[in-house]
Amino acid sequence: MTVSPSSEDMTKDLQNADEAAALQGQNCSAHINAAVRLLHAGQLVSFPTETVYGLGGDAGNPAAIQRIFQLKGRPVNHPLIVHLADAGHLNEWAREIPPVAWKLAERFWPGPLTLILKKAAGVVPLVTGGQDTIGLRVPAHPLALKLLRAFGGGLAAPSANRFGCVSPTRAEHVRAEFADHLALVLDGGCCRVGVESTILSLVTEAPVILRPGGISASQLAEVLGCRPRSQDNPSSDIRVPGLLTSHYATLTPLEVVNRERLWLRAKQLRAQGLRMAFMTLENPPLERYQAQRNHIIEMPNEPQAYARALYHTMRSLDRGGYDLLLVEAPPQTEAWSAVNNRLLRAAATGTVTGDIANDREHL
């Protein structure tokens, strides 16, 4: 017998944002219209992107921007990314745009790449945290693009989570975090990329990756003609919350350990009476862990699939009442750089054991 899942269940399980949008069918236009009305009235709307859900407000309205900072609990000197419907709007938000920015936009937009450029004269100072630069991107999610086109302006949107916490990759994460404080959450299913966009600064002498994400350094190099530098430790004049030591953090302490040391570390912690959950890669020596009645989540061995599952898994484990989340360190290769970066940030409140802490090459 086949049982048709409810449309809510299906939306929850969809990995592909296009399918999710199609599933929502006719209802979609009504939701978009409602969202546009709210945004024009200075209210906030959460919308899906291919990376994570955003907490959107009219980037041209200082009161709306203020609301974003308040709701997130984010210091006002930390800039927001402005989302655009297409690269044709770049000139309205940025000035002295270098030719390479257009090339990158053509290649990677819509997509998980944020460009840092010099801001245009009329940009609301609050959006850029008082800086002379602005972060801009065109998201690759059909609902986000529909919303941006219908809205007609730029949408300032940080990830729709409280400052320093884990970003949301499903509409239910946003609802759980902001409950009644948000008039509307557009549901576009699970985010396809699952971690935030790559941030590339084009205002420095040579391009610098400020945050690794869905577009890799090698992909960028194909357009830039040289490999961009990675900046993990921001200089004092660039404020990037994602680069603070602790970020994307679970409430439960999280520790990242190499596979060879995982079992030993687990034994030590067990001896201290700690209740642990594990995030391992596929095929861990299960019998050993299960004998200890630990909760084990096997994460995908493929970096994109891992990234897609990461925040939902962190959020789920965080609700499990564990003393510690023990994470098996993924490989230290470029393909894993965004995942390793987020795990390191999440672990920053706890301890990081093993070589991962020393390998900053690929962050």
Residues in contact with ligand TXA by the rule CB under 6 A:
49, 51-52, 54, 78-81, 112, 114, 116, 128, 131, 133-135, 139, 157-159, 196-197, 199, 210, 238-242
Query: Distance between CA atoms of 309 and 299, rounded to whole angstroms?
Result: 8
| Minimum gap (Å) between residue 75 Cβ and ligand TXA | 10
Which option in Mg ion, ligand TXA, none does residue 208 bind, with CB closer than 5 to 8 A by kind?
Answer: none
Q: Which residue has the tokens 């989540």?
A: 297
What is the number of other CB atoms lying within 10 angstroms of the CB of residue 166?
Answer: 25
- Spatial CA neighbour of 170 closest among 187, 152, 149, 153: 187
| Minimum gap (Å) between residue 220 Cβ and ligand TXA | 15
Between residues 155 and 276, which has the closer beta carbon with respect to ligand TXA?
155
DSSP labels, 136-155: EE----HHHHHHHHHH-S-E
Phi, psi of 55 (to 5 degrees): -105, 95
Between residues 163 and 263, which has the closer beta carbon with respect to Mg ion?
163
| Minimum gap (Å) between residue 83 Cβ and ligand TXA | 6
Residue 244 near residue 238 (C-beta atoms within 8 A): no
Which option in ligand TXA, Mg ion, none does residue 353 bind, with CB closer than 5 to 8 A by kind?
Answer: none
Which option in Mg ion, ligand TXA, none does residue 114 bind, with CB closer than 5 to 8 A by kind?
Answer: ligand TXA
Which option in ligand TXA, Mg ion, none does residue 128 bind, with CB closer than 5 to 8 A by kind?
Answer: ligand TXA
Contact residues for Mg ion, defined by CB under 5 A = 159
Phi, psi of 65 (to 5 degrees): -65, -45
Between residues 159 and 340, which has the closer beta carbon with respect to ligand TXA?
159
Which option in ligand TXA, Mg ion, none does residue 131 bind, with CB closer than 5 to 8 A by kind?
Answer: ligand TXA
| Minimum gap (Å) between residue 239 Cβ and ligand TXA | 6
Between residues 38 and 52, which has the closer beta carbon with respect to ligand TXA?
52
Which option in ligand TXA, Mg ion, none does residue 81 bind, with CB closer than 5 to 8 A by kind?
Answer: ligand TXA
Between residues 265 and 342, which has the closer beta carbon with respect to Mg ion?
342
**Which token pair is 105?**
């936009």
Between residues 143 and 157, which has the closer beta carbon with respect to ligand TXA?
157
Find the DSSP H helices in the chain. 7-13, 17-24, 27-40, 62-72, 90-93, 99-108, 142-151, 171-178, 217-224, 259-271, 286-291, 303-318, 337-347
Query: Distance between CA atoms of 46 and 174, rounded to whole angstroms?
Result: 8
| Minimum gap (Å) between residue 158 Cβ and Mg ion | 5
| Minimum gap (Å) between residue 330 Cβ and ligand TXA | 20
Distance spanning both ends of the chain, measured CA to CA: 49
Between residues 150 and 274, which has the closer beta carbon with respect to ligand TXA?
150
Which option in Mg ion, ligand TXA, none does residue 57 bind, with CB closer than 5 to 8 A by kind?
Answer: none
Q: Which residue has the tokens 């230290």?
A: 332
Residue 214 near residue 305 (C-beta atoms within 8 A): no
